[in-house]
Structure 1
Amino acid sequence: MKRQKKTKKKKSWLKIISITLLIFLAAGGAYAYSVYHSLTKAVNTMHTPIEDRPISEKRQKEIAYAQKEPFSVLILGVDERDGDSGRSDTMIVLTVNPDTNSVKMLSIPRDTRTDIIGKNKVDKINHAYAFGGVKMSMDTVENFLDIPLDYYVKINMEGFQDIVDSVGGVEVNNDLDFSYGGDHFPIGKIKLDGAEALNFSRMRYEDPRGDFGRQYRQREIIQGVINKGASFATLTNYSTIFDALSKNIETNLTFSQMNDIQKHYRTAAKKVEQMEMKSTGKRIDGIYYGIVSNEEKQRIHDELKAHLELK
């Protein structure tokens, strides 16, 4: 039971991470000229290309940023321990469409049963990372959703709160008095550091609104990070921000691509839509899996394909 609760906490936090990360990447180009050396050092540290996967097999050609073609990103939240490659306990697919100024965000349940591409077996989708790292995760999710995955971002789950701290914390408008994880959150405008922001976003069961209330708090944190990231006071702290990013994030996005995203896609984060994947729990040979029906997979595929403007 504790393991299930811990997994749910990570999933809720990664929803915040995925949008916030997009904002940081999009904002990167705005700083580039004044903090070039610090930025390039951080990006070079984060940049980890995937061998033998320069472009998705489901793409006819590379993305033309100047033409504002939609793109996709696989977000992997990973806990890695000494002697253990870890598993991607949380997987989120982002599709970004600058024409509609929108981002779709799909959470994939970690227990989802599917073909593991490159392993020739059927297993839980999050096991792909343990078997073959980022590449196998991308290939497996791409096959499962039947859409191209253009980029990935791997995040150290335990270290992301350092990013919140690096911008000096965030201010949120709290509409529910509650306590969680040893922190008390009164109604009104409150300022949160990284650890407090984590607890603020985690609480679910004590909220009479359930997921709706939790999503409201997530949006408040997202907006708080956006506000701090856009302020001059935060720009003066760029070295700390870049250090936190470089220590906790890996991506195949290059410095040039980040600048192109900033230039042509920065308004896309104005509208973020969270998508849910419905599954049915089932035990097979004593192992619990989440079974996604063909109809549900088709529904999700159609929505993401349309958002990516694929023929």
Structure 2
Amino acid sequence: MRADKYQRKKKRTWLKAIGIILLLLIIGGGVFVYSIYHSMRSAVETMHKPVKSQNSRAGELNFGKQQPFSVLLLGVDERKGDVGRSDTMIVMTVNPNKESVEMLSIPRDTRVEIVGKGTQNKINAAYAFGGVEMSMNTVQKFLDIPIDYYIKVNMESFSDIVDALGGVTVNNTLDFSYGGYHFPKGQISLNGKKAINYVRMRKEDPRGDFGREERQRAVIQAIIDKGASFSSITHFSSIFQALGKNVETNLTFDEMVSIQKNYKNARKHIEKYQIQGQGQMINKIYYYIVPESERMKASDRLKSHLEL
């Protein structure tokens, strides 16, 4: 079974979302500050969606004490008449003491126990069965770590954020055409529609999903860089509007401000990796099977980063 069969649709749009949110919070100076602050608060109030997940953390999380915390990043395709599934799932742990962020990708086809259903299924089915809450509980049990927060991004309309920034520029390493657009090698500029087609192409890439992941990371990094630049201040109203439409999170505005204040150094080192396993057919259904030894390795690594 080819790797692209179990790594489809890894649209890591969540990193762009949280990156833009956190980085824009530290932009200051000039007559824009008052408007930025209130526009940001309004956008976050729109995005804020509390959940009743079963957090296994012992005691309350205190940002003032710079405690490491975790976030489940979900990329969801939600279309009319369809609940959708979380086709992208990344667990992000943030540790200001180690000045680092770790991001663990969980393939959508990973076979796990769906908490609340009591059945074995693909991990992305948790969202279809029980939304964000069931997804958080399922990932928490699978990795045996507390999941403190979530950020959910609507994958169908993430191009709004690219357009809100006025487009992005990436270095393209593969000449290809997709979705009616041609993407030559070298530095290319992408608007929202071009960006979503640029990251969706898979079959023409000799590296399959691995190549697509590389393009996704390039676009995400370009979005973060553009969002952090001073020139993006002129687009702040459109950026916040796009975030408010396409992002949901249980983080409050005050918590985001506290993260910005106490966790700035954590952005110095960002490491991405994927839980290891292999494809297997069970009852004519494809699953990504993670051996217990690999699950424990990933769990121990995250626990260490969370200082648990």
Which TM-score bucket, shorter chain as reference? 0.7 to 0.9
- What is the CA-CA distance between 1:149 and the residue it aligns to? 0.5
For 1:183 and 1:292, locate their aligned partners in 2 and report how far apart those are by CA, in whole Å: 37
The answer for unaligned runs of 5 or more in structure 1 is none
Residue aligning to 1:249:
247
- Give the deviation of 1:8 after TM superposition: 4.6
Q: Which residue of 2 aligns with 1:43?
A: 44
Deviation at 1:33, TM superposition (A): 4.0
Q: CA deviation at 1:62?
A: 2.1
CA–CA distance in structure 2, aligned partners of residues 181 and 195 of structure 1:
9
Structure 1 partner of 2:152: 154
Supply the distance in 2 between the matched residues of 1:147 and 1:304 (Cα, whole angstroms): 7
Q: Which residue of 2 aligns with 1:194?
A: 192
Structure 1: how far apart are the matches of 2:21 and 2:171?
A: 25
Aligned position for 1:290: 288
The 5 Å alignment of 1:53-92 reads: 53=53, 56-57=55-56, 59-92=57-90
Residue deviations 1:207-233, cap 9 Å, x none?
566666555534432332223212232
Instruction: Determine the C-alpha separation between the residues in 1 that align with 2:193 and 2:161.
Output: 11
Distance in 1 of aligned mates of 2:198 and 2:282: 36
- Shift in Å, 1:150: 0.6
Q: Would the aligned equivalents of 1:9 and 1:202 in 2 still touch at CA under 8 Å?
A: no
Tell me by how many angstroms 1:252 deviates: 0.2
Q: Which amino acid aligns with 2:92?
A: L
- What is the CA–CA distance in structure 1 between the aligned matches of 2:116 and 2:303, rounded to whole Å? 24
| Structure 1: distance between partners of 2:265 and 2:17 | 14
Q: After superposition, what is the alpha-carbon deviation per residue over 1:37-79, rounded to whole angstroms, capped at 9, x for unaligned?
A: 322211111000013x4x722x122222223221111111112
Task: Find the residue that maps to 1:77 and give its secondary structure.
Answer: strand
- How much has 1:132 moved relative to structure 2? 1.3
1:18 partnered with 2:19: no
Contact 2:14 2:152 in 1 (8 A): no
- Residue 257 of structure 1 deviates from its aligned partner by 0.7
Give the fraction of aligned pairs with identical amino acids, expressed as a percent.
56
1:307 to 302, 305, 308: 305
Contact 1:97 1:268 in 2 (8 A): yes
* Secondary structure of the structure 2 residue equivalent to 1:253: coil
User: Cα distance, 1:275 vs. partner?
Assistant: 1.2
- Cα distance change of structure 1 residues 155 and 207 upon mapping to structure 2, 3 Å threshold: same
Distance in 1 between the 2:206 and 2:111 partners?
Answer: 32
Normalized against structure 2, the TM-score is what?
A: 0.88
5 Å-filtered alignment, 1:143-292, equals: 143-204=141-202, 206-207=204-205, 214-292=212-290
Report the more deviating stretch, 192-201 or 233-242: 192-201
Residue in 1 that maps onto 2:30:
none
- After superposition, give the CA deviation of every residue in 1:214-273 in whole Å (9 maximum; x if it has no partner): 555344323322232122321121111011001111100000011111112233233222
TM-score with structure 1 setting the length = 0.87
- One-letter amino acid of the counterpart of residue 48, structure 1: K
Give the Cα separation in 1 of the matches to 2:220 and 2:177.
20
- Aligned partners of 2:99 and 2:267 also within 8 Å: yes
1:56 is matched by which residue type in structure 2? N
Unmatched 5+ residue regions in structure 2?
Answer: 28-32
